[in-house]
Amino acid sequence: MIATDTLDHTAAAPAQPTLPRGLAGTPDDKEMLRAAVELTRDIAVARPEIYWPDMLASAALGYGALAGAILSANPFIATLWGVVAALALYRALLFIHELTHIHKNALPGFRFGWNLLVGIPMLTPSLMYEGVHTLHHARTRYGTADDPEYLPLALMKPWSLPLFILVAILLPVGLLIRSAVLVPLGAVIPPLGRLVWERASALSINPDFRRRPPEGEFARMVFWQELGASAWALFLVWWSATHGWRPLLIGIAVISLTAVLNQIRTLVAHLWENEGDAMTVTGQYLDSVNVPPPAVLAPLWAPVGLRYHALHHLLPSMPYHSLGEAHSRLKKHLGLESTYEKANYRGLLPLVGRLARSTMMPR
């Protein structure tokens, strides 16, 4: 026997890296990740015969119902029309999420058509999400201080949730001021223009996020979208000042409801429990939320496939119309005891309750 045979070989082994706490320390479930790709290849193409009618019908219903709310003299009927308008325009607006993920050549003309019919009229052109939302999906950014769409809401104070909703209520007024006042002034006052771009051009929830200047083809697209939104905003102000403010105020109320719906959906899109560490893809998945059938109201508060938000983080480029089928295939293949099942929840209220309780816990 030689001397080295008596050494404790376990002591000589290299130390294992310390994993972060919570979901950030979740190792990747390679079987789930592989299955997500392999089982869905045949349904991964965006279908224009679904996108166009859905978007156009949603916009038409939304604007028609908005006209009904404006023209109705009966407050009850006007309110009903307003709710219908908010729900339909909410669905139409959330196609902005699809625009950030589909290939620019996948649906010819769809980006232009959506901006013309929905983005610019609602003062939310696609520039406010494109180039921003993809950062949220970046492997090294999700859940960190560099993620424009993440805050550890579950670890914050109880008053943070009401404040989160209040911001949404005021959003339409902020968008009107941005496009009618700040963007035109920024065009002639460069420091203001840079500030507006950095701090007020992205649909983000992280107050520390600063946006980089646009470049190349995207910069040209930004110019035309900003020009269209500002021209429309100035027209709205001029028409209201000369013909009456009632239509604009009703429109603001409807868009406020739309913004509140989206903010509530955002509250339950994730568990919001990460404390700033970079996360594995599986950790991101488990920090995200699916609300699959039989939750019957989910298509109203999480339309255009966003009821499958956790699955979306596994397959960011999967078109919204294929997520239901992808979910069924993965659930059947992986089983009820799998990692995949752990991100599926029953409905909106239990998730809101969980988040609210978490903010009340002593830290």
Instruction: Flag whether the pTM goes above 0.85.
Output: yes
283 contacts 24 by C-beta, under 8 angstroms = yes
Per-residue pLDDT tens digits for 38-93: 999 999 999 999 999 999 999 999 999 999 999 999 999 999 999 999 999 999 99
Per-10-residue mean pLDDT, the chain, length 363: 36 43 84 97 96 98 98 97 98 97 89 98 97 91 93 89 92 98 97 96 94 94 97 98 97 97 95 90 95 94 97 96 98 95 95 91 70
